[in-house]
Structure 1
Amino acid sequence: MNTTPAVPRAAATVILVRDRPDPSGERAPLQVFLQRRVPTMAFAAGMTVFPGGAVDPGDAVRPARVDGPGPEEWGRRFSCPPGEAAGFVGAAVRETFEECGVLLAGPADRFDDAARRAARAALTDRTRTLAEVLDGAGLALRADLLHPWARWVTPEQEPRRYDAAFFVAALPAGQAADARTTEAVEARWWYPADILGEHAAGAARLMPPTWLALTDLTGFDDVAAVLAATADRVAVPIRPMLVRRGERMVAVVGDREIAIP
Structure 2
Amino acid sequence: MTKPRNPSTGLLRRLFDLPPGQNDAAENWVSFGSRTPRAARRASSVVLIRDTPNGVETYLGYRPGGSPLGSVAFPGGSLENDDEAEIPWYGPSLSEWSKRLGILDQRLVRAHIVCAIRELFEESGVLLAGTDELSVVENCDSEDWMAVREAVAGQDKTLSDVLIKRGLRLRTDLLRPLSHWISPNFALRRFDTRYFAAALPVRQEPSLLRGKGVWAGWKVASEVIEQRATTALGDEVNEPDTRGLPLSMETTPAVEVILEKIASARGTVAYLSVRRELKSYHPELVQVGGKFYLDVTTTTAAEGGGKGRGR
| Among 80, 86, 110, the residue aligned to 2:103 | 80
Q: Which residue of 1 aligns with 2:4?
A: none
Query: Does the 8 Å CA contact 1:110/1:139 hold for their aligned counterparts?
Result: no
Larger-Rg structure: 2
Query: 1:60: Cα distance to partner?
Result: 2.9
Aligned length: 245
| Among 81, 87, 90, the residue aligned to 1:57 | 81
> 1:153-195: CA deviations, max 9, x gaps?
1111112111100000000001001123555421110111222
What runs of 5+ residues in structure 1 fail to find an aligned partner? 257-261
Q: Which residue of 1 aligns with 2:296?
A: 253
Query: 1:89: Cα distance to partner?
Result: 0.4
Distance 1:182 1:154, change over 3 A: farther
Distance 1:91 1:194, change over 3 A: same
Q: Quick one: which amino acid aligns to residue 18 of structure 1?
A: R
CA–CA separation in structure 1 for the residues paired with 2:220 and 2:46: 16
Query: 1:104: Cα distance to partner?
Result: 0.8
1:35 correspondence with 2:78:
no
Distance 1:44 1:182, change over 3 A: farther
Q: Which residue of 1 aligns with 2:240?
A: none
Q: TM-score, normalised by structure 1?
A: 0.85
CA–CA separation in structure 1 for the residues paired with 2:143 and 2:174: 24
Q: Which residue of 1 aligns with 2:191?
A: 162
| Among 94, 107, 114, the residue aligned to 2:118 | 94
CA–CA separation in structure 2 for the residues paired with 1:183 and 1:79: 34
The equivalences for 1:1-261 within 5 A come to: 3-20=35-52, 22=53, 27=54, 29-38=55-64, 41-44=65-68, 47-62=71-86, 65-81=88-104, 82-107=106-131, 108=137, 113-180=142-209, 182-203=211-232, 204=234, 205-229=250-274, 232-254=275-297
Query: Does the 8 Å CA contact 1:77/1:233 hold for their aligned counterparts?
Result: no
Query: Does the 8 Å CA contact 2:68/2:183 hold for their aligned counterparts?
Result: no
State the superposition RMSD in angstroms.
2.4
Q: TM-score, normalised by structure 2?
A: 0.72
